[in-house]
Structure 1
Amino acid sequence: MAANNYIPKEPTVIDCNIEKTLNVIGGKWAFLVLRELFGGTRRFGELQRLIPAVSPRALTSTLRHLEEQGVLERCVYPTVPVTVEYSLTPKGEDLHQIMKEMKLWAAKWT
């Protein structure tokens, strides 16, 4: 009998831009953080007050993720106590139209 020389193919990876976008903004709290930052620069405490359901730990994690993705920038001022402000980068500002469209869709269908 002939030897079985079957070599399984590796799965094909399909590059999906929608998936890439969701990886950037798909976190549970990211939408709410972005919504607040569309209104301008905010401090950590302001974001906590504006999004009362988010824990400090979850907010910190979300802000770090968005910063790593280049969506927002963190500016630290050497005051006592330290002042930290968050604002959107041009990449983050570009998400505004997407969020508006999602809001319109939700108003129509949910």
Structure 2
Amino acid sequence: MELDIEIHLDDLPACAGCAGPPLLTARFPHSWLNTRGEEVKGVREVALCPQCDRGSPAADELQALFAVDEQVGLANAEAFAVLIGAWLEERRQSARDSHRLEMEWDQWRQSDL
């Protein structure tokens, strides 16, 4: 699977978990096996939320970069790339949160998402 990753730092939607402001969002290719064992390809979007992601080693390190530097620029681009790579890998490996999925589905049906 091709690894086109989009990172967004501006005009971010509220965190789906707590409705707070995220530091960034990332979209990346994602796939899973359906009940027939067939691969389903799609895109996954994740937010780096200061509240919801607290305690995750990769997220804590990435949040520390924003706490010190406040923004991404030429001076910290290499460090940002390493930290975002570690955070995305951690998020890729995370399991589906059924409760959150139901909550987001309800928000979508009510046009709140």
TM-score of the pair, normalised by structure 1: 0.30
Q: Which has the higher contact order (CA 8 A, sep 6+)?
A: 1
Length-normalised TM-score, structure 2: 0.29
Name the structure where helix makes up a greater proportion of residues.
1
